[in-house]
Amino acid sequence: MRRSVEQLAADTIRALSMDAVQQANSGHPGMPLGMADLGVVLWTRFLKVDPTDPTWPDRDRFVVSNGHGSMLLYSLLHLAGFPLSMDDLKNFRQWGSPTAGHPERHPALGIETTTGPLGQGLATAVGLAAAEAHLRAVFGPDLVDHRTYVFAGDGCLMEGISSEAASLAGHLGLGRLIVLYDDNRISIEGSTGLAFTEDVPARFAAFGWQTLAADGHDREAVAAALGEALADETRPTLLSCRTHIAYGAPTKQGSAEAHGSPLGEKEIAGAKQAMAWPVERCFEVDPEVYAFFGSVMARGTTARRAWEESRDRRFSAEPEAAALWRQYWAPGRVEVGPVEGFEVGRSLATRAASGKVINALAPRLPGLVGGSADLAPSNNTLIAGSPDFQAATPEGRNFRFGVREHAMAAMVNGLNLHGGLRAYGATFLVFSDYLRPALRLAALMESPSIFVFTHDSVLLGEDGPTHQPVEHLASLRAIPNLWVVRPADAGETVEAWEVALNRTDGPTALILSRQNLPVLDRAGKEGGVQRGGYVLRDGTDAVLIATGSEVSLALAAADLLAAEGRSLRVVSLPCWEAFFAQDDDYRRSVLGEGLPRASLEAGTTFGWERLTAVCGLNLGIDRFGASAPAGRLAAEFGLTPEAVTERLRHWLG
């Protein structure tokens, strides 16, 4: 009976997927047909989720990394009773529908993360698994006892991010991570033999993974392999499942043609006939399939209720555990408070100030975790007194990501999406190029990830133009929903961290200096960073808008001009995104009415015309940097008080 209803369930997924893609006249039918058996086995025999409470903390996480096969996920969610209706399936890839072309994060619907760019889902899942391991070490298996399952395809494993993430997952011994690899040996251009002939299991074995194999259309073999994977919690598992793309299609099975195009009415009719399906009916679900999924999903509901009872018993017996749980899962608004060494007149780099803020927060925010891409001493990201997060010490809060910027960013997304943690990842600003795809996805799926970027300008000096960011501020500001915060001093750095930690609807990039900057007198100006920009020094002749290390430079130029009888308003604009979110009255009060505007930033001037208009003056660096001491670079690029004053004098004259 089980095999019979399982077969019906798998065929239902295939039929729904074919129908939805055909109706949309757009989509990828091949993967859902090929992985339907895997989906049925995992969801009905192993996965621990509850459609009546999709976001309960101890649910298993399921990620479809090969997100082009989204109809497999949507079909499973619908059949399992998640709030994804048949009308949603019929509106696949249509405006406003939750059944987008590639899965978009919607936890209430059971969609854990946004996927589609290949490899991203797998790397994000490594972050999800790391979060589970850390929280399990802190709270114990009675409160944290779930697994992370991933569907991935050949394309995912070709992308470099998957190797970065898998390498670290093996090193960390994330044994509750299981990847089911859809080994169908087909990509868009044809056979993977055109470009991908490596021994994938051998590669993962070298990473430290357990590697297993099964016929992906033999459900009993898949179930046995999954049972073996569950038995070994010392290593993550790669289960290679040999499948056929578009399984059951009469002429397109095993063909690249089935990857990214509708099968066509004739091919669908042939496939339905082969599995004894009513050809003339679309979006058909036998009531027996709904009943089958309903019965097996009750397992998750029972598990969730048992977890809640166990939690309540423990919290009643251990009030301190309840209080600690709230600190992780519901910390409330974060405020840093005074930090020693940030007094006016002192001088320190904002990267150093950031490190002090992290360690001021760490005792009060135990869910704060993170690390750097092999740059912790330079990024100042270590949490003092905490061990590293390693296989032997999963309670550690310091993550050693190694030189893996791309995987680091995706893992930071996973750590944050899991819940219970606030995670950051750090590198030099110029290397934001290496992690941009994951950063963009963080913005798209509203992950509250924090990215710490130090060495923010050419003034880092002798390392030269390969390491000196010029275009990076402009390029990061171009990403919708990413807040880019470049603080001017230690005081603004405090507020920048408050902005980042109190954001719940998207990521924040903190842009920090290598060189020392004076701590400014901001008395009465507190809270300006939260509003994106504010008047640091008032004036009546013109407005000079600056960010980061150039704010103190702007103030010095204002002093020189004041000696000549000119009154310059200096505006610190650490976060464009927050500033443009303010109302018109506030923005006008900061920028002034009818005053000429100039900008000052040690980067490309691209985009500044949005604030200074056509006739404004934009002072920056519209070329690559050079290898030289910082002082020489400042002089050559006009980043000295005298040079800035001369340019302003000429402009105003």
User: Mind telling me the catalytic residues?
Assistant: 405
Burial of 3 (0-12, 13-18, 19+ CB in 10 A): exposed
Q: To the nearest 5 percent, what fractions of the chain are helix, strand and coil?
A: 45, 15, 40
Q: Which helix (H) or strand (E) holds 63?
A: strand 61-64
Helix (H, G, I), strand (E, B) or coil at 586: helix
The tokens for 276 are 């004894």
Q: Where are the alpha helices (DSSP H) in 319-387?
A: 319-329, 350-361, 376-379
Residue 412's nearest CA partner among 435, 383, 431 is 435
Rounded Cα–Cα distance for residues 233 and 238 (Å)? 13
Burial of 627 (0-12, 13-18, 19+ CB in 10 A): middle
For residue 214, report the phi and psi dihedrals to the nearest 5 degrees.
Answer: -160, 155
The tokens for 128 are 């999800």
CB atoms within 10 A of CB 304: 19
Cβ contact 482:506 at 8 Å:
yes
Rounded Cα–Cα distance for residues 42 and 62 (Å)? 10
Residue 129's nearest CA partner among 282, 235, 266, 264 is 235
The tokens for 52 are 């009546």
Residue 158's nearest CA partner among 124, 188, 126 is 188
Residue with tokens 């993962």: 204
β-strand pairing of 177-183 with 148-153? parallel
The tokens for 76 are 């499973």
Question: What are the DSSP calls for 187-237, one per residue?
Answer: ETTEEGGGT--S-HHHHHHHHT-EEEEEETT-HHHHHHHHHHHHH--SS-E
